[in-house]
Structure 1
Amino acid sequence: MAAPSPVNAVEKVLAVLEALAEHRRLTDLARTTGLPKSTVHRILQTMVDRGFAAFDEDNGYSPGPRMVGLSGRTIGEFGASLGAEPVLRRLQERFSATVHMAVLTGDEAVYVRKLEGNKPYRMVSRVGMAIPLHCTGIGKALLAGMPEEEVAALVQRTGLPRRTPRTLTTLDALLADLKATRERGWARDMEENEEGIVCAGAAIRDHSGRMSAAISVSQLRSDPTAIDLSVLGPELAAAAVEVSTGLGTSSR
């Protein structure tokens, strides 16, 4: 059953924006909002033009980089109430390393929070920056929560671009790594995205149990004070469970 049709222009845009969080196809968006397809399409085209939505033929519509970037600039204010911010700060203080939180959007992840480490070096990452899934700690943590056929479909769409000599560039190698990630409970990036940078990542489940976000801790491999990933990883995984609990996850 369609929702009651919004009355004014602002309500129509907000209805489409809210529906875009769960639906990707024009038909589903129109049914959910109770608006004519032509109206929804017109709103979506404007959102795509302005970067608040993205579109491709295979996946339909999804939140765009500007929408995700805006959430990143405000998540620090609301993180404490969500249970994320205190956990992220504790990780940063515990390991003196750079901590990230990112959300899954389409076929990539986008940073929504960054806490710089207490180190003489700085990471080039920034809030609102999109990162690949196949070669990052955050990305592989998210991929590990997907069925293998979904991972294969994603790889067919995006390929496995080589970022460094250590990047996994075959589907078999990636699937083997994701199997190990599931067994460990956390993902590793061993200089696969940036040379010299190692990272551990762990996925966060939202209120529905879906892995929709992830957190990571990044360090220079050559840093003599860096914490070994075998020590860091399990603590990061426990922190991800804590954040998931704060988000009201229904399963682990």
Structure 2
Amino acid sequence: MLQESSNIFIKKSETETDLFVINGMQFKSRLMIGTGKYANLKDAKQSIAVSQASIVTVAIRRAQSVKMAGKSNLIDGLDWKSLWLLPNTAGCATVDEAIRVALMGREMCKRLGQTHNNFIKLEVIPDCKNLFPDPIGTLKAAEFLIKKDFTVLPYINSDPILAKQLEEIGCSTVMPLGSPIGSGQGINNIENLRIIIDNAKIPVIIDAGIGTSSDATTVMEIGADAVLVNSAIAQASYPQVMASAMQLAVKSGRQAYLSGRMKQKRNAEASSPIIGISH
């Protein structure tokens, strides 16, 4: 249990048994938030606060370019004692690029005081049109970063075989997309996601394509461990309101999953008995 960012984590005595754990770290919220595409820093900060997220992901390349341009940087405006930084390698098209940016991300965590934060959201995306991740490049980069003691959270297509391979080499989660990144199309591949979830012994975090709160609820109801949301909040007419909706949706979906929903039936079945009713 890390002490430097203890506000993020759950004390065991304060919880039930349903914990969200990544590589031994316990987090309060199953909603993870991205930081891109907001109209301004105020909307971003307020949305993150309303979402009650514990984990916030930041594109290292974008953060570096903003800083070099001398512009206001969201990283400098957030309280990293109550949030956990998940650096990501967005914008990297090759294995070498992703590895280099991951190392930069680990140094950024140290500068923010999270000295034991080795988390990295791994993205290797050579497809600049459709933004589908490279499965072979992701596997190679993940293998290298795991050997360098990173906690690797790889972003992948909804490929059950690749998801299992990444788990077997030591990834701490898998992050399959629900539909193309930034599209807001919702969940287009739910059967593949079910297979990934059913086969996984590590957390499955649905990332990309979520457009509204019902999408988040849908994947949480089938057993996803968490969701990562960016565009659906940042590009909503009222981002803070959508952030609140997502927070409620994730909690609701998780509770529905844990409740064990009723079996679906072909025919109607009366909820009240007819025996003993006088006619």
TM range (shorter): under 0.3
Q: Rg larger in 1 or in 2?
A: 2
> Which one has the bigger strand percentage?
1
The structure showing larger relative contact order (alpha-carbon pairs under 8 Å, at least 6 residues apart) is 2
